[in-house]
Structure 1
Amino acid sequence: MGQEPTRSARRKGGRKPAETGAPRANLYDEVTARIILELEGGRLPWVQPWGSVGGGVAPGLPRNALTSRCYSGINVLILWGAVIENAYPSQGWLTFRQALEAGGNVRKGEQGTTVVYADRFTPEAEKTRAEAEGGDAKTIPFLKRFTVFNVAQCEGLRPDLSGDPVPLPEREIVPVAEAVIAASGVEFRVGGARAYYAPGPDFVQVPPQPAFFEQINYYRTCLHELTHATGHAKRLDRKILNPFGSKDYAREELVALSGQSAPPATLQ
């Protein structure tokens, strides 16, 4: 769910927050609240693999700029949200100490972003019990928080740090996928910031390929929406006008998910 169990409670230019004596907020509840906040803001980066063309945000997963290790789990959502909210031009992040190790520092007054590290541990008493009684020792899951700063919040960093991916090319055409789209006979429109199939007018629309963080997801999205189009009355005549959250809606999404995959030899 995360990396780097580095302890760093420093915020705002490296100062530790004052101790208030109030009980620590339950980290699980805090992470859940962050997810809800993203949902209410209309941001679904775990299912929407595209952004906006020319938005200035580097493509790819958030990563540690010192170790080049990508973040995972909920941390991807948290850090993508911070990049979008603050219009950071980089997906690179550092802890306060790592910024110092990289020859620079966090600029005074900058606010860090809290991410989490997930792991499991085995209590000594449980190890003793397992040795005495046999069987596997039970482990206990835990979450630990730490604070990171985008490289755009730092200054004086050495120039050989892990850089952001090179800008995406205008298009990476996969001929076999283009042939599938053309052979479908469905009107296909490219543009805007949404991907959808419109059953009434019977057309598919997807964002332009350069908007996708990984360009292969353009074709996966195309095939997903085209699979919905196969349910039109003049094709397979599936029940595709279903209310969101219903069983029929979920069933149709499963059908479309099966259609968006393609052989690795052609699409990867």
Structure 2
Amino acid sequence: MGKAATPVSSRKSRIGRRLRRRDGGVAARPRANLYEEVTAKIIAELEAGRLPWVQPWGTSCTGPALPRNALTGRPYSGINILMLWGAVIMHDWPTQSWLTFRQAREAGGCVRKGERGTMVVYADRFVPEAEKARAMREGDEAKPVPFLKRFTLFNAAQCDGLPADLAADPPPLPEREIVPVAEQVIAASGVEFRIGGAQAFYAPAADYVQVPPQPAFFAQIDYYRTCLHELTHATGHPRRLCRDLSGRFGSKPYAREELVAEMGSAFLCAALGIVPTVRHADYVGSWLDVLREDDRAIFRAASQASKAADWLLACHRDTREARAEARAAA
């Protein structure tokens, strides 16, 4: 949606300056701000010209996938997707499956000696004692305080002795012109799709998506990447997940919503096994402005992108189950 943003500034980010000493080391702090720490990593990737959510799988992987717990099969969400994808890219690991140290033991294997884990975060809330006392004193409801906890995961490639089928990734879909599962997700969303013209966009007021015909794309698989990007925008409609879609081109709200749509499309492509080509980062400059201004922006955007992808995948799953029940009853 829209034209390219202003070029990426070469200056170091405000957050990055907080975290680094003059000698290039990381400044020691008694209690690190996890929001700043994670945001600084994402900013560094963007400043280096890398998008953590574009082609987030190594060359030795069997195919794209969302990172998931190898023991429970539960996919990770939000900011943890970006952090785990980043580790897979850095180390070129062949799988998106992850375990805690204890889970590797429970599965019958072990983490190899000397391996270093990858930090992920868990969001929770608690009510401080002072807040409980205030609420009791004033007859008010106690307000919980959000916080982040860090924990460590190990990629299945860092472990020995795991069952062969524990960390199997789904095979990628072939790069054919029509990808049935993507067509099914689009149809199941209930969003009106119009094919034609030379621009891809979502029109919030009229609630429809328009994309150019598939032959117009240099790499035809990118037709689906574009469809899923615009479909993620559509999940923000008040009748769906109700995000702020009022931002005009060039504004901070517009940049934030584009960040959600970019990651939502990447999450959906990974979940469906679609391998899009790397896209030019049209909005990197505006994204950097948003992230430098607010160290929680990337957490909110990743969370909203996960919710959008989950909503669309749930629509697809419900439609598929309804059809199966109808066939069984016929």
Class of the TM-score when normalised by the shorter of the 2 chains: 0.5 to 0.7
Equivalence for 1:184:
196
Equivalence for 2:47:
40
**C-alpha displacement of 1:108:** 1.6
What is the DSSP-based 3-state SS (H/G/I as helix, E as strand, rest coil) of the residue aligned with 2:146? strand
2:150 is aligned with 1:142: no
Structure 1 contact 114–145 (Cα < 8 Å) conserved: yes
Query: Compared with structure 1, are the counterparts of its residues 206 and 146 closer, same or farther at alpha carbon in structure 2 (3 Å cutoff)?
Result: farther
Q: How does 1:114-129 map to 2 (within 5 A)?
A: 114-129=119-134
Unaligned runs of 5+ in 2: 1-27, 187-192, 200-210, 233-248, 266-311, 317-330
Structure 1 contact 99–154 (Cα < 8 Å) conserved: yes
Whole-Å separation in 2 of the counterparts to 1:130 and 1:56: 53
2:227 is aligned with 1:219: yes
Query: Compared with structure 1, are the counterparts of its residues 88 and 40 closer, same or farther at alpha carbon in structure 2 (3 Å cutoff)?
Result: same
Q: Give the aligned CA root-mean-square deviation in angstroms.
A: 4.3
Q: 1:66 is matched with which residue: 59, 71, 85? A: 71
Return the letter of the residue paired with 2:124. D
**C-alpha displacement of 1:100:** 0.9
2:38 is aligned with 1:31: yes
Structure 2 contact 97–156 (Cα < 8 Å) conserved: yes
What TM-score, normalized by structure 2, do the two folds share? 0.48
Structure 1 contact 115–148 (Cα < 8 Å) conserved: yes
2:47 is aligned with 1:76: no
Structure 2 contact 57–85 (Cα < 8 Å) conserved: no
Whole-Å separation in 2 of the counterparts to 1:99 and 1:221: 36
Return the letter of the residue paired with 2:225. N
What's the CA shift string for 1:155-207, capped at 9, x where partnerless? 101345353223324431449x8xx89x63659xxxxxxxxx9xxxxx95454
What is the DSSP-based 3-state SS (H/G/I as helix, E as strand, rest coil) of the residue aligned with 2:154? strand
Whole-Å separation in 2 of the counterparts to 1:204 and 1:51: 25
2:171 is aligned with 1:166: yes
Unaligned runs of 5+ in 1: 1-20, 188-196, 198-202, 225-244
**C-alpha displacement of 1:134:** 2.1
What's the CA shift string for 1:79-130, capped at 9, x where partnerless? 1111112111111111111111111111122121111111111123423432
Query: Compared with structure 1, are the counterparts of its residues 135 and 216 closer, same or farther at alpha carbon in structure 2 (3 Å cutoff)?
Result: farther
**C-alpha displacement of 1:72:** 1.6
Query: Compared with structure 1, are the counterparts of its residues 25 and 113 closer, same or farther at alpha carbon in structure 2 (3 Å cutoff)?
Result: same
The share of aligned pairs that are identical, in percent, is 55
Structure 2 contact 61–94 (Cα < 8 Å) conserved: yes
Return the letter of the residue paired with 2:142. A
Return the letter of the residue paired with 1:148. L
What is the DSSP-based 3-state SS (H/G/I as helix, E as strand, rest coil) of the residue aligned with 1:25? coil
What is the DSSP-based 3-state SS (H/G/I as helix, E as strand, rest coil) of the residue aligned with 1:145? strand
- In our comparison, the structure showing a higher alpha carbon Rg is 1
What's the CA shift string for 1:215-240, capped at 9, x where partnerless? 9535335999xxxxxxxxxxxxxxxx
What's the CA shift string for 1:50-100, capped at 9, x where partnerless? 568976353221111112222122111111111112111111111111111
Whole-Å separation in 2 of the counterparts to 1:150 and 1:162: 9
Return the letter of the residue paired with 1:220. L
Whole-Å separation in 2 of the counterparts to 1:128 and 1:162: 48
What is the DSSP-based 3-state SS (H/G/I as helix, E as strand, rest coil) of the residue aligned with 2:80? helix
Whole-Å separation in 1 of the counterparts to 2:229 and 2:99: 33
How many correspondences in the alignment? Answer: 197
Structure 2 contact 58–88 (Cα < 8 Å) conserved: no
What TM-score, normalized by structure 1, do the two folds share? 0.58
Equivalence for 1:98:
103
Query: Compared with structure 1, are the counterparts of its residues 70 and 27 closer, same or farther at alpha carbon in structure 2 (3 Å cutoff)?
Result: same
Structure 2 contact 98–155 (Cα < 8 Å) conserved: yes
Whole-Å separation in 1 of the counterparts to 2:121 and 2:110: 22
Query: Compared with structure 1, are the counterparts of its residues 51 and 64 closer, same or farther at alpha carbon in structure 2 (3 Å cutoff)?
Result: closer
